[in-house]
Chains A and B, each alone.
Chain A
Amino acid sequence: MPKKRSSKKVSPSSARKKAVAKVDNALSPHGGKLVNRVVEDKDKAKRLANKAKVELPIRDQHAREIVSIAYGFFSPVDGFMKRADVASICKKMTLASGYVWSIPIVFDLSDDEIRSKGIKEGDTILLKYQDQPFATFEVEEIYSFDKKLMAVSVYGTDDEKHPGVKRTYQYKDKFLGGRITLINPPIINPPFDKFWYPPAQSRQKFKEFGWKRAVAHQTRNVPHTGHEWLMKGAWFEAQSDVNPNECGILVNCVVGEKRKGDYIDEAIVLSHAALGENGYFKQGTHMVSILLWDMRYAGPKEAIFHAIVRKNMGCTHHMFGRDHAGVGDYYDKYAAHEIFKKIPDLGIKSVLTLEWWYCPTCAEVTYEGLCGHKPQKFSGSVLRSILLDGVKPTRLVMRPEVFDTVMMAADKYGFGNPFVDDKYLNERNPVMTVPPMEV
């Protein structure tokens, strides 16, 4: 049966015409300043918590977004969005302030919850996560928004089979907008702790490495050799006007909601680190990090979001390959490449990568357009299928150290399975733990 598609198309060109984007280029964060909404001082945190009139438990998605907002990943966003921001994103792909932004960051709540908790505009709410005080939320606005409009504007479709559209339709009746303050910073648990670099720290790390150029690689996959060559190709492009030791690759692994069949998060971060640890990248040219974010699969719109986040982390370049952040066949293969031509300069250069395949004639991973032979195409999904069939991939498609790390992670963190299953979903060690806090 054909998919139900909306006839309404996203129109980045209209965004270009209407938006007056205030963009600071160079290495500055989006909006010019890194947001910091983290309170480390325990007494101050308690005082803020005690001002709150209402307590509200939150779900995982909101907890991850609060952490990402508070540490500045989403700068200049400093809280959950108000109506004007969401409307502006849907209409012009900018925040109300004029800065380019492509995906609404919203806090939904049902009418019943608002009524039963007595939440009003002007209130400060104490948000609780894992049964602990977590953040305060200054509710400046309670509003409704047309969820179909939001879905079509962001995803270019109203098809409920699209996971981002489905998420949007599942939002509750109302949205709350206002600034958040993280009053009880979570502990990032092993093995993720050593990959936790909020923007201020990633920028510091780049300085220590001496990087003048940093190219971001967005991932939610274990690396196969195609990914490795994409990263290497992107590094060459980013490095072209500086010395080789002044350029590095930031692998930024998206850690968020998991679906059955995905690689477990631990396998993803550790296998990327294995590439550096085993000499496929020289020490000091490759850095693995995480981003707490639930993928929206918004294709080109998510590409823009990723560029902004990585700019905030200090990157000067961002690589975008085939079907970036896509799902199914909702977007053209190179939609993410095209959209950057249609928006104002974000201050982070796009490195647009094509498809690297295994060429049996050349006996190496290469680009079809270079060697002209018939390639053997592979993808993350094909690699996952090989592993699911209990077969060890050859080194030309997956480095043996990567395979060994995936299997080690399966034993140590995945209950024997490198892929997400019910047991992992129910019993995995959380990525972050909110420490006890008395208020």
Chain B
Amino acid sequence: MAETFPIYVWINEERFAKLQEAGLADKAVEAFAGLKRLEVHANEAQKDELLRRFPGSKCDLSTTRSIELLPRAFKDKLFQKVIEMRRLDPEVVEEALKST
């Protein structure tokens, strides 16, 4: 199976309230003794497109293999798409990319 690259959407109180409202609170997984995050997966092409579109971002290849340092505005859009589409796979990333 082709490798996917996680994008962590870290959950603050505002985001958690929206997840609860949408009945998606269980999609958030716990990390680091009390933080919550959504793990949205991008495929290789989407990873490359994200890194191209947001030059400050990076794929943390040496540690987590996750896509990091994406701008808050994109993460907000991605979060919104998760709520709308109720999924965490590359389809969501595709839609977030289209609307950004």
Contacts and interface: CB of A to CB of B under 8 A. Distances in A.
Interface string B61-100: 1111010111110010000000000000000000000000
Given A385-B70, A389-B9, A379 B63 contact: yes
Contacts of A396: 32-34
A385 B8 contact: yes
A20 interface: no
Interface stretch (A79-87, A110-118, A237-245, A322-330): A322-330
B63 A378 contact: yes
Nearest to A394: B34
A260 B63 CA distance: 21
Interface string A333-357: 1000000000000000000000100
A73 B63 CA distance: 31
Interface in A313-333: 322-323, 326, 328-329, 333
Most buried by A among B8, B63, B75: B63
A174 interface: no
Contact of A391 (B12, B58, B61, B66): B12
Given A259-B56, A389-B12, A394 B32 contact: yes
Interface of B: 8-12, 30-35, 55-58, 60-64, 66, 68-72, 75
A384 interface: yes
A376 B31 contact: yes
B12 A261 contact: no
Contacts of A397: 32-33, 35
A225 B37 CA distance: 19
A370 interface: no
Given A323-B62, A389-B10, 10 more contacts: A260-B55, A326-B62, A377-B64, A378-B63, A381-B60, A382-B68, A388-B69, A391-B10, A394-B35, A396-B33
Nearest to B13: A391
Contacts of B55: 260
Contacts of A323: 62-63
Contacts of A260: 55-56
Contacts of A322: 62-63
A363 B32 CA distance: 8
Nearest to B35: A394
A382 B60 contact: yes
Nearest to A355: B63
Contacts of A389: 9-10, 12, 72, 75
A366 to B, nearest CB: 13
Contacts of A329: 61-62
A379 B61 CA distance: 11
A9 B32 CA distance: 39
Contacts, number: 84
A-side binding surface: helix, strand, loop or mixed?
loop
A358 interface: yes
Interface string A371-400: 000001111011011101111011011000
A360 interface: yes
A410 to B, nearest CB: 14
Nearest to B36: A391
B33 A394 contact: yes
Contact of B62 (A259, A333, A360, A394): A333
Contacts of A360: 30, 33
B60 A379 contact: yes
A385 B67 CA distance: 9
Q: Which of B32, B56, B72 is most buried by chain A, counting CB atoms within 10 A of its CB?
A: B32
Contact of A386 (B10, B63, B70): B10
Contacts of A382: 8, 60, 63-64, 66, 68
A386 B33 CA distance: 14
A377 B33 CA distance: 13
5 contacts: A261-B69, A379-B62, A384-B68, A388-B69, A388-B75
B60 A393 contact: no
A382 B68 CA distance: 6
B56 A328 contact: no
A382 B57 CA distance: 11
Contacts of B70: 385, 388
